Structure 1
Amino acid sequence: MTPTPDDPAGLGHRAAVALVFGSSAAVLVVEIVALRLLAPYLGLTLETSTLVIGIALAAIALGSWGGGRIADLTGPRRLIGPALGISGAVVALTPAVLRTTAEAAPGALLPAAMLTIMVPGTLLSAVTPMATKLRLDSLERTGTVVGQLSGVGTLGAIVGTVVTGFVLISRVPVTAILLGLGATLVLAALPMMWAARSRGGTAALALAVGAGGLAAAVAPGGCDVETTYHCANVETAPNGSTTLVLDNLRHSAVDLDDPRYLEFEYIRAIASVTDTAFPEGEAVDAYHLGAGGLTIPRYLAAERPGTRSVVSEIDGGVVRIDEQRLGLGHVPGVDVRVEDGRLGLRRLADDSRDLVVGDAFGGVSVPWHLTTREALADVRRVLRPDGVYVANLIDYGEQRFARAEVATMRAVFDNVMIAGQAGDVGLDSPFGSDGGNLVAIASDRPLDPAAIRAAMDRRDTGWTVRDPAGTAAWVGDAQVLTDDYAPVDQLLQPYTNTAG
């Protein structure tokens, strides 16, 4: 990159294209991977996505404006190396910074996220106007140079998005992606900084990348497995059961030797509904939205021999964990399909299921398209006339999402009831709290709330169930969710520990 009569600035065409392409791609990689890092703590919601996209766009705007301004005021060539290098150091430190902040000081997570996205995003976005200024050797070529490099930058952003979303996330842990990107940016910066005699700066950047790797190795909040949608961990309890943890939420507890082992209260409540809704020991045709640790499908297979269960799980990584880590690869009568639940529902025949179990809603994010009146109409379509839909809901505070979802069920089914701790379903009780797990029960046939309550008592849940009239009172004037209007992310209130 030495000056020549054809290139007085000393930046060749290929070098400029590579710098603009790579820096633009890196901005989008950081944006997408930041969503993955924040999802376990903020949820993979519309609000989280909007926040990250907004920060990234602000960084691009600031970098483009600032880079162009600086390029007009000073020689930009000596600034490109530091911009790449500092970006690489920040990117490499991002996994450790965000995870440590989320665990140690949750209130500071958003400012930390803004800094770790804004700093590299701004510096990398400044590369394009600086490289463009270096390539402008005559006014006659201004349009050509600006247009070419602008197009190259857009192409780089597209490639960064596609490669990250379709290739990297499914094959490489998030930490490795960011460490690799950080190291690549620093390596790209070293020759330019070395040529500018910035020896101390090059050493500091290399050390920062190494520190990022070491910090990521010891930072809290890591994953045993990073799936397409979750940060997954598998924990073994003293009693020998195995717990599947997805995004810091305990989803399933499994005893490989005892499929009737039901640890979580909401799972015991769902089992209580199935115990009372169908004759004892009778096989049923069931469909499950969400796999988790296959707790209910295994329970039904053991308790009701001959039961056939179809399970739709969108995350193939969860299915692999079930097979490889939990030893659940061959459960008799259980057909696990890696597919979106809404699409899985469409593939089922009318009047083909006795039972549909919805357990796809997490504590910090909800697949909204499974909550709507249209989705529930599909559930009703696949159920036989005396079939039952039972769903696990998680909500806190005013429980606006849970109430809206039950209101939507009431718009589709003839009989709907809500079960949970008495305080959570609008009754005074020593068990009262401000939210958590609830189980909604919907059917076109009447179900016996007293029988369900008795079954839950036998399973020691401490829960109660409200009859359809009491459920209607609990729902109040909550809105019905539709495909056209389902602001689930805004209705859902995540858990907030206000103790102390």
Structure 2
Amino acid sequence: MNSPSSDVAVPPAPSQPAAARALPNGLAAFLVFYSSGAVLVLETAALRLVGPYVGVTLQVTSSVIGIALAAIAYGSWAGGWLSDRRNPRTLLAPALVLSGIATAITLPMVRYAGEVLRGGAVSGVLLLVVVAVFVPAMLLSAVSPMVIKLQLADLRRTGQVVGRLSGIGTLGAVTATLVTGFVLVAALPSTVILFGLAATLGITGIALGVYLHRQDRATVPGAPRVRAALAVLGLVGAGLITVAPDPCDVETAYHCARVEVDPGRASGRTLLLNSAQHSYVDLADPTHLEYAYTRWIGAVADVVAPEGQRLDALHLGGGGFTVPRYLTATRPGTDNLVFEIDGGLVELSEQRLGVRQGPDLRAVVGDARMLVAGEATDSRDYVVGDAFGHLVVPWHLATREMAAEIRRVTRPGGVYVQNVIDYPPLRFIRSEVATVAAEFGHVALIAPPEALAGERGANFLIVASDAPLPLAAIRARLDDGNEPASLLSGGDLTDFAGEALVLTDDYAPVDQLLATA
């Protein structure tokens, strides 16, 4: 009797697909190094792309880092998943070419979306950052798991292969971060950086595709259609780039800068940094002070040193050099020393805003915190703090330790004025008043009445000295102005500051204090 199994045909075991051929070790290392580095170049450039529309705050920086990390995570996951289902050799070249196209399209997409999402709303920041970085970073992050899959021919060496390629990828990211931050951003506009990255990605992908095709001597199914689709995407991206709005006249190492002519004043020029009004200059009349806070600075200067009396003035932040030009015009012989971190902004001011350096005006390029430390004690009559990163005072210029350095540099009887921007509920200005008051013996605050009432955001001017302030004279000068301005001092200012946090180098959450509740 035959066994039951003898009448049943046993199907043959399914044939296992041949393992994909590994790449040469040098090529594998290059692809992992290059793709990982390209993600960090893109991340750095993305921060500069979104800055003109949403600023360069801690929240924006955190969003760029967070979205980039999310793109890396999803890209690595997707790359590994695809590698288990398709021959990674057929995926590598398209991934690189697509990432190049996505990088090229990033610029026009950010500029179009930025005009719609302009402002500092959290949702707008996150959405614009996603547009700027997510897709190309995800495509690039899929390359490493594809390469690793190809190189895992010997299971006894998986740890060595994965560890070596992971280390090479990290080295690529570190190298790209340093090169971009120290070299590329200083030498090239972000537009050129992105276009260069897109071009090298595309060329690398095409070259890799040709190499692998010759090695495998086989045509990938659907390759002509894929190449045609990629070509169409590239043409669409090129077309968008040519018509995308450009918010910059000049892109410096720190800012997207533009100078606009005032339609109501032929000689008036407005300097915009990252699309925010930063300075106003009248080329024909350096005594014209357009903005209220500059008039307040001028009023305090007029009280400290009557017109015609020279001053030794130190300016933390140059911008359009409005106040240094005013002091020079009203007090011949004044020595204006300006610390400006952005050398490109100094050049733009010289070219477009009528700034002329000489015995009465010297601009030193560098970080004000470090430069102030090198100034002589009791060397300045008037110190003007007007440094901003977008609309935020850099945190290291807002601490008690910085106020102590300024006090050291200021002569007995000299005055320090600090421009601060804040919004309801006014947490930052309260803390900054408390911080300056912790070092200076006499402090006052000038601001619009409705801003002090918490009805709107505005500029605030802190006035500080170790000598009693000429409050009556300052009040009289403010009353001569066209707009109402409150002057708080003594108990009123103490009540305004309340129990506000004194900012220190160890703890200065400036961006969080500025966030509206």
- TM-score normalized by structure 1? 0.91
Match of 2:153 in 1: 137
Determine if contact 1:289/1:311 at 8 Å carries over to the other structure. Answer: yes
Distance 1:108 1:386 in 2: 47
Equivalent of 1:212 in 237, 242, 260:
237
- Which one is further off, 171-180 or 57-66? 57-66
**Alignment partner, residue 34 of structure 1:** 46
Name which of 53, 56, 81 aligns with 2:65. Answer: 53
1:260-409 matches, cutoff 5 A? 260-409=287-436
Query: What is the deviation of 1:292?
Result: 0.7
Deviation of 1:343 (Å): 0.8
Alignment correspondent of 1:474: 496
Amino acid at match of 1:65: W
Query: Contact 2:56/2:389 (CA < 8 Å) preserved in 1?
Result: no
CA contact (8 A) 1:90 1:116 kept: no
Which string of whole-angstrom CA distances, capped at 9 and with x for unpartnered residues, describes residues 271-315 of structure 1? 001111223321111110000111111111111111111111111
User: Unaligned regions of 5+ residues in structure 1, if any?
Assistant: 1-6, 427-431
AA matched with 1:264: Y
Deviation by residue 1:342-370 (Cα, 9 ceiling, x = unmatched)? 01110111111111000003553331000
Task: Report deviation, 1:51.
Answer: 2.0
How many residues matched? Answer: 484
**Cα distance, 1:454 vs. partner?**
2.3
Query: Contact between 1:253 and 1:263, CA under 8 Å: does it hold in 2?
Result: yes
The answer to whether the 8 A contact 1:350-1:382 is kept is yes
Q: Indicate if the aligned counterparts of 1:100 and 1:220 stay in contact, CA closer than 8 A.
A: yes
1:463 maps to 485
Deviations 1:378-397 (A, max 9, x none): 01111111010001111112
Higher mean displacement: 110-119 or 331-340:
110-119
Distance 1:360 1:452 in 2: 23
Q: Is the 8 A contact 1:193 1:201 kept in 2?
A: no
Which residue does the alignment assign to 2:255? 230
What's the counterpart of residue 21 of structure 1? Answer: 33
AA at the equivalent of 2:495: A
Deviates more, 1:339-348 or 1:196-205: 196-205
Moved more, 106-115 or 125-134: 106-115
1:427-484 per-residue CA deviation (whole Å, 9 max, x = no partner) reads: xxxxx84111111111112223332232133342432322232222222221110011
CA contact (8 A) 1:363 1:395 kept: no
Deviation of the 1:69 alpha carbon: 3.2
* Alpha carbons of structure 1 residues 461 and 274: separation in structure 2 relative to 1, 3 Å: farther
Residue pairs, 1:440-459, within 5 angstroms: 440-459=462-481
Please give the per-residue CA displacement for 1:397-422, whole angstroms capped at 9, x wherever unaligned.
21211111111111111111111111
Map Cα deviations across residues 24-49 of structure 1 (whole Å, 9 max, x no partner). Answer: 11110111111112223333222222
1:158 to 168, 171, 174: 174
**Paired position in structure 2 for 1:128:** 144
Q: Residue type matched to 1:204 in 2?
A: A
Question: Residues 175 and 216 of structure 1 are in contact (CA less than 8 Å); yes or no, is this contact kept in structure 2?
Answer: no
Match of 1:437 in 2: 459
Q: Which runs of 5+ in 2 are unaligned?
A: 1-18, 214-219
CA distance in 2, matches of 1:304, 1:23: 58
Alignment of 1:100 with 2:125, yes or no, is no
Superposed CA offset, 1:199-249 (max 9, x none) = 333333344344334434433352111111111011122322222111111
Q: Distance in 1 between matches of 2:416 and 2:236?
A: 51
Structure 1 pair 210–404 and aligned structure 2 pair: CA distance change class (3 A): farther
Q: CA deviation at 1:193?
A: 5.7
Name the aligned partner's letter for residue 475 of structure 1.
Answer: A
Post-superposition Cα deviations, 1:98-147, rounded to whole Å, max 9, x if no partner, equal 22222123454422422542222222112111112212322344344323
Deviations 1:61-97 (A, max 9, x none): 3322332233233311112223222222221111222
Secondary structure of 1:297's aligned partner: helix
Question: Residues 311 and 382 of structure 2 are in contact (CA less than 8 Å); yes or no, is this contact kept in structure 1?
Answer: yes
| SS of structure 2 residue aligned to 1:474 | helix
Amino acid at match of 1:92: A
In 2 relative to 1, CA 211–165 (structure 1 residues): closer, same or farther, beyond 3 Å? farther
**1:173 alignment partner AA:** P
Quote the Cα distance in structure 2 between the aligned partners of 1:284 and 1:437. 25
Offset of residue 267 of structure 1 = 0.5
Q: Compare 472-481 and 291-300 and name the one that shifted more.
A: 472-481
What letter is aligned with 1:168? L
Partners of 2:53 and 2:115 within 8 A in 1: no
Contact 1:186/1:206 (8 A) holds in 2: no
Query: 76, 80, 88: which is aligned to 1:76?
Result: 88
Q: Is the 8 A contact 1:41 1:364 kept in 2?
A: no
Change (3 A) 1:393 1:131: same
The alpha-carbon distance between structure 1 residues 246 and 115, as it changes in their structure 2 partners (threshold 3 A), is: closer
Of the candidates 421, 440, 456, which is equivalent to residue 448 of structure 2?
421
Match of 2:142, SS? helix
Q: Output the CA distance in 1 between the equivalents of 2:359 and 2:240.
A: 44
- TM-score of the pair, normalised by structure 2: 0.88
SS of equivalent residue, structure 1 residue 412: coil
